């Protein structure tokens, strides 16, 4: 089956996943993570992409962001890739590719799913047993969103700002939300959506996005189409 084209319309949040080639490590030292975040900030500003959440794992990255410029998301990732791969190869005396082909992405309905996807991303280090608690992992946005750590990179989405009138109220509500037990079905929905390049949201959101982009963002129904016997 042909893979879906990626869609990143202006103003619609995107969950992005990029893996190391053959799932090899793409970060070895703290300086590697810091370098990637430096370029993420630089190119997110240059190409007008608002970054809301992230988790840099040792062999892949998760981002939640909203492009505000046509084509800005892909140009941001390409620019970071060129800079970071050159840096990583020099640091490790290697050549060749680092990332596993093109990145994966899915569109996210803000009202119902944006905070859930943000929570999913920031809890990834805990699920991968890289930290006992999300605030113990340095290379995610959790300390910013849940504890108010200053950041020149993170741009809170409108849905995050709705959590409270003050910064203290927002971080408290976000932290409480993040500490509740994960819903297995929701985890599956988020994973399937990013791996298959589908939108995560209700049917009206998916219909709206398909009209906006002219691309399919939902899975096809399995099995034969209705009425196929009559058409033989």
Higher-confidence position of 2 and 132: 132
Residue 2, pLDDT > 50, answer no
The domain made up of 14-210 is a member of CATH 3.30.70.1290:
yes
Which is it for strands 60-67 and 104-107: parallel, antiparallel or unpaired? unpaired
pLDDT in tens, 33-76: 999 999 999 999 999 999 999 999 999 999 999 999 999 999 99
* 17-21, 45-49, 99-103, 174-178: least confidently modelled range: 99-103
pLDDT class for 228, splitting at 50, 70, 90? very low
Q: Which two tokens stand for residue 57?
A: 């794992």
pLDDT class for 23, splitting at 50, 70, 90? confident
Rg (alpha carbons) of the chain, rounded to whole number: 19
Q: Is 87 helix (H, G, I), strand (E, B) or coil?
A: helix
pLDDT in tens, 77-86: 999 999 999 9
Q: What confidence score (pLDDT) does residue 224 get?
A: 52
Residue 185, pLDDT > 80, answer yes
Cα separation, 48 vs 218, in Å, equals: 27
Instruction: State percent of the chain over pLDDT 90.
Output: 82
Residue 226, pLDDT > 70, answer no
Q: What confidence score (pLDDT) does residue 57 get?
A: 97
Cα separation, 217 vs 93, in Å, equals: 41
CB 205 within 8 A of CB 113: no
Q: What confidence score (pLDDT) does residue 227 get?
A: 52
Residue 174, pLDDT > 50, answer yes
Cα separation, 72 vs 194, in Å, equals: 19
**What's the predicted TM-score (pTM) here?**
0.91
pLDDT class for 1, splitting at 50, 70, 90? very low
Q: What confidence score (pLDDT) does residue 114 get?
A: 98
């Amino acid at each position: 089956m042909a893979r879906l084209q990626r869609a990143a319309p202006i103003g619609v949040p995107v969950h992005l996943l990029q893996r190391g080639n053959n799932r090899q490590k793409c970060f070895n030292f703290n300086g590697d993570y810091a370098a990637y975040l430096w370029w993420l900030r630089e190119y997110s500003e240059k190409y007008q992409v608002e970054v809301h959440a992230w988790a840099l794992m040792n062999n892949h990255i998760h981002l939640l962001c909203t492009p505000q410029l046509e084509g800005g998301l892909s140009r941001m990732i390409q620019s970071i890739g060129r800079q970071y791969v050159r840096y990583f190869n020099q640091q490790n005396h290697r050549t060749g590719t680092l990332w596993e082909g093109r990145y994966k992405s899915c569109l996210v309905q803000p009202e119902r799913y944006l905070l859930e996807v943000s929570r999913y991303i920031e809890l990834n280090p805990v699920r991968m047993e890289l930290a006992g608690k999300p605030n113990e992992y340095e290379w995610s946005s959790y300390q910013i969103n849940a504890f108010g750590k200053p950041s020149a990179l993170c741009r809170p989405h409108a849905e995050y700002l709705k959590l409270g009138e003050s910064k203290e109220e927002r971080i408290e509500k976000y932290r409480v939300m993040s500490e509740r037990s994960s819903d297995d079905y929701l985890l599956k929905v988020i994973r399937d959506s990013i791996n298959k390049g589908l939108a995560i949201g209700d049917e009206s959101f998916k219909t709206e996005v398909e009209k906006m982009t002219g691309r399919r963002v939902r899975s096809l129904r399995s099995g034969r189409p209705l009425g196929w016997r009559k058409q033989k």
